[in-house]
Amino acid sequence: MNKACLKFYCPDRAGIVARISEFLFANKLNIINLEQHSENGIFFTRIKWEDIENWKNEAEFQKDFASICDEFQGQVFVHFFARVQTCGLFVSRELHALAEILTKVELGDYENIQIPFIISNSRNAEKLANYYNIPFYYTPTKKDSFAHEEKQLEIIAKYSPDFIGLARYMKILSADFINQVGCPIINIHHSFLPSFVGARPYEMAYERGVKLIGATSHFVIPELDQGPIIEQDVARIRSGYSILKMKKQGADIEKKVFARALAKVFEHKVLVYENRTVVFE
């Protein structure tokens, strides 16, 4: 049997869960998971149920659910898991995050997920894309120029992906690109090195003798690296670690954090509210 879920938020008050549960019961739907909490006067919930195909698509469900949104002044997001979701991937020279995602898709770790294309400003990923039989697009970039984005937007428009994943894509996206792309963008980058920006963060971290390195995955907004955070992790650095060892450990954290962040997005466990995320288990 297919499954579906909704995410919902509204000003907190009594009776919200009861009202939503009544709606699902009236439509003969069996709830299999429900999470909820309230913070700063706002109620958040994610409910997953067994779908018996009462509605042809999410839009039909939202139309029937609109009365509850109006009643509680809330916002609902719904997904039917029978529908295949697609995620286009961007990458540069480093392939660790890309390889992690492609492997998980191949092994079926992500349910009903397809990768329709890979875009890169390096040819390093072309062999990997060919191995997985994924269309590869080489779009070279130049410093202080966004001319390549026109071609990238044409590619994205051709496939209309549900998501874009930046698997260590080392080129800043313009605000125009972010506003035109038409879907959420998820990024991964090193973190917990806040004083070390630029092209040599690990070298600078090594010189300062840092004891922790980490990675952060977040949604992309026009303000650089300021988007809502989805997932983070850290690793402790031991005395005697070389710069190369730190980079290898950093890459390992990055690919795991990126994979976990995408899993949560694909499973619709992330709700964005006022530039921060509510992440359900």
Catalytic residues: 225
Q: Which of 87, 85, 41, 49 is nearest to 65 (CA)?
A: 49
Q: Which of 211, 214, 261, 255 is nearest to 234 (CA)?
A: 214
Q: Which of 104, 43, 47, 37 is nearest to 79 (CA)?
A: 47
How far is 137 from 120, CA to CA, in rounded Å? 6
End-to-end CA distance of the chain: 22
What is the length of the chain? Answer: 281
How far is 278 from 281, CA to CA, in rounded Å? 10
Dihedral over alpha carbons 216, 162, 87, 228 (to 10 degrees): 0
